[in-house]
Amino acid sequence: MNQANPFALLTNGSALPWSDVPEWPLADFLRHVSAALQRGERLSSFFGVPEDHAARLVAVVALDAGNTLAVARSQPFSGSFPALTPSHPQAHLFEREIWEQHGLVPEPHPWLKPVRKDHGAGPAVGGFFRVEGPEVHEVAVGPVHAGIIEPGHFRFQCAGEEVLHLEIALGYQHRGIEEALAGGPHRRTVYQMETVAGDTTIAHATAYASALEALAGTEAPLRAQWLRAIALELERLANHTGDLGALAGDVAFLPTASACGKIRGDFLNLTALLCGNRFGRGLVRPGGCRHQVEAERLGRLRERLETALAEVQQAALWLWDAASVRARFERTGPVDPTQAAEIGLVGPAARACGLLRDVRFDHPAGWFRFAQVPVSVWPDGDVFARARVRWLEIQRSGEFLREQLEAAPEGGMLSDLGSLAPDTLAVALVEGWRGEVCHVALTGANGRLRRYKITDPSFHNWTGLALALRGQAISDFPLCNKSFNLSYCGFDL
Amino acid sequence: MTSFLEITVRLAVWLLLAPLLPGIINKVKAWVAGRRGPPLLQLYYDLAKLWRKGVVLSTLASPGFLAATAFSWVAVLAAALLLPLGPWGTSLSFRGDVLLLVYLLALARFCTAGAALETGSAFEGMGAAREVSYAVLAEAAIITAVLTLSVQSRSLSLEAMLAPSAGAGAALLAAGLFTVLLAENCRVPFDDPNTHLELTMIHEVMVLDHSGPALAAVLHGAAMKLLLFSALLVQAVLPVGTLPAAAAVGVLFGGVLAVAVGVGLVESLLARYAFRRVPLLLTTAFLLCVFALLVAWKGGAA
């Protein structure tokens, strides 16, 4: 390998032989990754691959400006390795995860504790950062919450109403999805992929399907790629609409809260019209999509889409017109753009900090190679910006659907996947409604999955929520939390 | 001498009618949102259900926890009985009874906050701190409103004081008292009675550990307090006391209904304020009452 190009480059949704991934001695590997991050590139995924009694590190770096992904690996080792976290905070959770999964110790890591498990004993509660002082008090929230939401533990260090520090402990929903994939794909794998994060079914299923298609060297029929894009945008519409309603609900602004709850259901029903399931279960399959759509159903879809889009427009106008809502949203939970880049935020949370990051634009794959959605950006980084980005994306996804529903390609929906190439690595990114969903698949010599790494956007973004709360009122936590609306199970895997 | 019958009727009015008010507010909110909403009598059903349930107590709570809850309920009821009802006046009237009413409400708040601290929960301590911080400002507004009424009637007894003047003073007083009503009863924009988010609550978070009959007492007490403030507001701005009995009943009921609808509309159309802006709004209520006081004073001198 020459020094000039320490990484192998590939595009989103493609594969390359494992032997073609440059292998570096540990120190060189970390130096190259560090240099790439220093240049402003982004750590999409960073994980270990077990190798006999040792393990090696693999880094997937996203070169957003160059529309390519860069992969490199280290030689197998055991024991400790120099941590990237002190210089590149975006590696923080990745390195904790590597330590947890493979026993490789990042040194010096500023906050080395389990990500999901407490050495197999249970979720990662305990050993929280504490602020000492006579005025400081600690508030523990969760894992059982008042609403019907997922379990997670939040530990606040407060001075009166002001939050000095928030630490988030997750892992209550760890199901061992990655472990279950070893030796796969199994017959149940696709169902597991659809439930990595239940509200991101289409994005995760599409990433999984693309990774397998890349490994098998096949491509889904064009019409299936088109349908996946349609379903992905419907998923975005439903969730963003739900989020706008939930944000309104958190500040007790009832008109938008009531309306959006209903309209979210309308969008979910459009997905159900495509595949019979409101969350899109059973639609995306490796090799294509399982359901054909005929013209009559598309017509009905278009009609109902128009109604729902008009209604969400009205509900959003109420929200933006209310001065009392603006007063709550503006300057609440701000994330500094520099910090956002450093911790590697993705999705609407990153775009609300003015960062131009959108997989559909940076790493187009599938139907997005032919049809683009403009990237929605807002500069302020606060709750208002995150709400605003969602609204922009609702409008642009609506526009995208209007155009693409007219431009359906003809053809079949499902092609035969074939067998997976042995000793091959595939990377698939999908811009889910929360942000970048990254699936990395590695096959062994037998053509079965050897390692499968899933990175949900929540994995990047939980740190953003903790930072957004610094210096804020603790009473604004639910609002900030909702403005990120991160997945617990997507993180816990 | 007030008869046994009259006391019974008064008690019945306060105890039985109070839970209707939250039902009306919820109906209005549902109607604005285009929903059907919970039944008008939902709070009655809830109270009946809670009454049959057992009580779960924090291991840290002393007997004071339940005692304070009971005290709080009794204090609100006593305050309600002090309030004259139109031409029927009050069952117990004396010089300065208005101060007793204000202090009974303060006692109720003290007991609720005390019970909240009894549980040793971080949430409830936080809620108690919020409640009493905002109460300082709300009470200033109430005292000023009372002063206004007392200046314009030159009396310190509620029966005589609730003989309002018309005009600018009454409008200012109504605006001030309505804002205080929203704050004291934990309605939007001060608090959100519907929220499930314990970190954002003021009043609701203080009673998170109450259950069964104790929670029923808390809910019923809150409903009575709402009715008390609505009736006080109506009588402070409308001359109910001088009307014939039938008209007085109509005006009183209509007025309270209008207040409830007003609360429902405010909750439907306004987002909740951030905590740091709540003092601003309460100071505004205080100032409205101060201006009403100035009008009453100047009007009296002229």
pLDDT digits (tens, 9 = 90+) for A416-473: 888 889 999 999 999 999 999 999 999 999 989 999 999 999 999 999 999 999 999 9
Residue from B27, B266, B272 whose CB has the most chain A CBs within 10 Å, to mutate? B272
- Give the integer Cα–Cα distance in Å for A68 and A84: 22
Here the tokens at position A349 are: 């949370």
Instruction: Look at residue B302 and tell me whether its pLDDT is greater than 50.
Output: no
| Residues of chain B found within 8 Å of residue A252, distances taken between Cβ atoms | 188-189, 192, 194-195, 267, 270-272
Q: Is residue B43 in some structural domain?
A: yes
Taking the model in full, what pTM does it have? 0.90
Q: Is residue B302 in some structural domain?
A: no
Q: Is residue B155 in some structural domain?
A: yes
Q: Is residue B144 in some structural domain?
A: yes
pLDDT digits (tens, 9 = 90+) for A144-198: 887 788 888 889 999 888 999 999 988 888 888 998 988 878 889 999 999 999 8
Burial of A294 (0-12, 13-18, 19+ CB in 10 A): exposed
Task: Work out the percent of chain A whose per-residue pLDDT is above 90.
Answer: 64
| Domain residue ranges in chain A | 8-107, 186-443
**A340: Cα separation from own chain's centroid:** 15
pLDDT bracket for residue A135 (50, 70, 90):
confident
Q: Is residue B90 in some structural domain?
A: yes
Here the tokens at position A324 are: 């009392």
| Residues of chain B found within 8 Å of residue A476, distances taken between Cβ atoms | 200, 274
Out of A98-102, A122-126, A466-470, B48-52, pick the least confident. Answer: A122-126
Contact B271 A474 (CB under 8 A): no
- Output the pLDDT for position A56: 92
Let me know the angle formed at the C-alpha of A393 by A391 and A395, rounded to the nearest 5 degrees: 75
- Give the integer Cα–Cα distance in Å for A465 and A488: 13
Total CB pairs under 8 A between chain A and B: 84
pLDDT bracket for residue A124 (50, 70, 90):
low
Count of other CB atoms within 10 angstroms of residue A472 = 21
- Output the pLDDT for position B250: 92
When divided into structural domains, chain B yields a total of: 1
Out of A6-10, A336-340, A355-359, B194-198, pick the least confident. Answer: B194-198
Instruction: Look at residue B91 and tell me whether its pLDDT is greater than 80.
Output: no
pLDDT digits (tens, 9 = 90+) for A226-276: 999 999 999 999 999 999 999 999 888 888 998 999 999 999 999 999 999
- Output the pLDDT for position B95: 86
Q: Is residue B2 in some structural domain?
A: no
Average pLDDT score over chain B: 89
Contact A141 B29 (CB under 8 A): no
pLDDT digits (tens, 9 = 90+) for B267-292: 988 888 888 888 999 999 999 999 99
Go through chain B and tell me how many residues it has: 302
Q: Is residue B1 in some structural domain?
A: no
Residue from B199, B207, B269 whose CB has the most chain A CBs within 10 Å, to mutate? B199
> Looking at the partner chain, which of A139, A324, A475 has a beta carbon nearest the beta carbon of B275?
A475
Q: What is the ipTM of this complex?
A: 0.84
User: Which helix (H) or strand (E) covers residue A326, if one does?
Assistant: helix A323-329
Q: Does B277 touch chain A (CB under 8 A)?
A: yes
Name the fold adopted by A186-443. Answer: Cytochrome-c3 Hydrogenase; chain B (1.10.645)
